[in-house]
A and B are shown apart, each in its own frame.
Chain A
Amino acid sequence: MRKSGRQLFAGPYLIWIIGFILLPLAMIIYYAFTTSGGTFTFENVAAIADPVHVRSILLSLKLGIICTIVCLLLAYPLAMILNGLKIKQQNFVVFIFILPMWMNFMLRILAWRLLLSNNGIVNAIFQFFGFGTVKMLNTQTAVVFGMVYDFLPFMILPIYNSMARIKNDVIEAAKDLGASDAIILFKIIIPLTLSGIISGIIMVFVPALTSFVISDLLGGGKVLLIGNVIEQEFMQGTNWNLGSGLSVVLMIFVIASMALMNIFDKDGGGTAVW
């Protein structure tokens, strides 16, 4: 009796879920499968096969995968080093590595624009050493730089958390039994941190795949990701149905990539980073 009474506390939230989570999703799906006149159509979703859209989704996948791999390669050794520090140092160092993540996202992009621009710091250093000016801003490289900078902490934290859970005894036992460092890394540490790696990959890949701001501000309008195409349909064009159709396709890509990663994640709880 008391228990069923307590359930009622979730009532307002249930209404909120229906009104502001499920209904908006229903709207976007409705728009995706109708014309502006309201008749049913597959055209908006099928428009993904348009060469322009294919190119942008392939570019999104490419940059997203590069960004995820770079983040993983940077974050994994970092997490191992962090984990090897003394506890007191550890808290401090982790603090330092997540602090930039707390600064406004837009300002981090601003910083990279300053660094990479033709009269920016990086080029000033290049010129000092006689390399001449290298055009970096408004290229795909700049976009990847921005993405890695923005999303790196999302890779560091889950890997570091899963590494911190490994008991030292296990590693010592392996050492006593004569395992080399490489064997310990590949047979013990990597398998035990797999769920952290997977949630890191999801948390970096999904925002990288769907980003439109980084490509807009660091790519100077020349790097057209699928997010940019969708954004333009809504903000500059007027074809909301097409924009919704492409959004639904993007959503399918996100779900598919998560499902794909979950196959590798045997113990489940990996996504619970927060």
Chain B
Amino acid sequence: MSGELEGLLVILSLNTIYAYGVFLAATSGQLNLGAAGFVTLGAYASAYFTNGFDGFGFSLALGIPIAVIIVGILAFLVSFPILRTRGVYMVLATYALAEVVAGVIINTEAVGGAAGMPVDIFVPYYFVVASAVLVSLICFYLMSTRFGLAMRSIHDDENVAILFGVNARMVRVWAFTLGAIILAFGGALYGHHYSYIETQSFNVLLSIYILLYVLLGGTQTAWGPIVGALFFTFVPELFRFLGGVTGERWIEEGRFVAFGLLIVLVMVFRPEGVITRTMVEKVFSRKSREQEAAE
């Protein structure tokens, strides 16, 4: 497999994982504009553990899960106060949280501060791709459970969901926490594949991009994040290819210009995102009707 294709697959895989991290919160009606914070934490924590400190290091198989779980615990604790906020306030709170994380890391010399840090153990591309597949499967599974039903009910009408016995608060906490764990996992994979991390790799723009392409893909079904990640990874690549050919900075940057424009247009014409529940239903019920007709 060519190096360039490998590189693209890694980017697509990471984007997909990030997408699912934000998707879980979004499908229960919460917008997380601070995804980069958890990605950063996952990257740094896992690198810290696998690089080793004071002569004691974890293996990959231990270091990443431990780091990711620790971030999960942090997210769980932090989610209680943050999820008391709503709407505008929650968006701002998640944004602020990510900035605080970045700020703390910049000031922590043990992880290289603003200069960043190298990551010793390398994770090959197929591992990243396999992880993305695993995360997708887990999210499809979650959405098919009562927990998934509860999440989507809260998204549509939280008050009524509560009257039917849903513990809205805990569902949102868990959606947020699981999302953070997935984001942290993505960060860990990033660090161990690219072998170097710095807070600039995970800045505000990353948070914005992830949220946007998750909403672009659609938050009603587990298909949405994949579509969003595909859009974000490959449509820009088309522009980059053109840019490489003509050599103009304009066309290289044009991919983001187009992305921004696309977001605006999608919000106008198809605000629920590309993939909606209705669409999935139509596709699958047509299949099952064809199957029945064939029998």
Does A pair with B? no
Q: Which residues of A contact B (CB under 8 A)?
A: none
Q: Which residues of B contact A (CB under 8 A)?
A: none
